[in-house]
């Protein structure tokens, strides 16, 4: 494949949680198309393997791992398998999440914990452990997939919005704690037309309460992820050239 002149990720190792469907799968494809080897993690192993087969068909290496992204033991196992297979992780995308719409008075403790675990607790543990390894090594990039709901909370989503707001705070803290060798950023998408949109009403699939007046297309956020993933090495290249002069 001809390298993308703007987003060449040849030789980079990418780990994506929630990578078997939706925006996660779109990012898996986008990174692999630009030369990266990809670790795909989600609960359903067969779906991860299907995504891994797509990556291998592009001539890249792939690893499928079945995990629950809200459980620390699963995140530890994911880290072990990733580093055993590839020796490092250059780019981590914390994408797994869930966004049930439930009246606040009907949210029980079990559901509250499930939402918080998947959207914040698990991503915190995974990112903290990978960030330390990146900082001790050659650096890297972490991209946390948050939500517009963290900035503009909606009725019936207070737990989800709170978890994503915590993820946003974590991003800023990690960027200061592990930078400059580790670049940590957040993407906060609103509604996007992935497979999840099949369950939406016809009105919701066409119109949205945003400046564009419509839901986003997957390619409109994938390029942002590519930019954030690539920019740290582009800057390093520029600096090395400056110092070499």
Number of residues in the chain: 245
Averaged pLDDT of the chain: 86
Locus of tokens 């990720």? 9
> Which CATH number describes the domain made up of 13-244?
3.40.50.720
Active-site residue numbers? 160
- Average the pLDDT over each of 32-46, 131-145, 208-222 and give the range with the smallest value: 208-222
pTM over 0.85: yes
Peptide bond connecting 183 to the previous residue in cis, omega within 30 degrees of 0: no
* Nearest Cα residue to 91 out of 48, 47, 31, 171: 31
> Where in the chain are the domains?
13-244
Q: Could you tell me the pLDDT band of residue 214, with boundaries at 50, 70 and 90?
A: confident
């Amino acid at each position: 494949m001809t390298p993308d002149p703007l987003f060449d990720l040849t030789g980079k190792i990418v780990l994506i949680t929630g990578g078997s469907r939706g925006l996660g799968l779109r990012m898996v494809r986008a990174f692999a198309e630009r030369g990266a080897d990809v670790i795909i993690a989600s609960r359903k192993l067969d779906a991860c393997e299907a995504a891994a087969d797509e990556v291998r068909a592009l001539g890249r290496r792939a690893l499928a791992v079945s995990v629950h992204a809200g459980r620390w033991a699963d995140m530890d196992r994911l880290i072990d398998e990733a580093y055993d297979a590839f020796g490092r992780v250059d780019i981590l995308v914390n994408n797994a999440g869930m966004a049930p719409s439930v009246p606040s008075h009907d949210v029980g403790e079990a559901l509250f914990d499930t939402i918080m675990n998947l959207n914040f607790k698990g991503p915190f543990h995974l990112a903290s452990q990978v960030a330390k390894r990146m900082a001790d090594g050659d650096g890297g990039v972490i991209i946390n997939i948050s939500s517009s709901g963290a900035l503009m909370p909606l009725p019936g989503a207070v737990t989800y919005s709170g978890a994503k707001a915590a993820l946003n705070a974590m991003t800023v803290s990690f960027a200061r704690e592990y930078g400059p060798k580790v670049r940590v950023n957040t993407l906060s998408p609103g509604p996007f037309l992935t497979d999840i949109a099949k369950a939406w009403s016809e009105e919701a699939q066409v119109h949205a309460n945003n400046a564009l007046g419509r839901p986003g297309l997957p390619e409109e956020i994938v390029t942002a992820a590519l930019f954030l993933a690539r920019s740290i090495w582009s800057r390093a290249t520029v600096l090395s050239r400056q110092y070499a002069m």
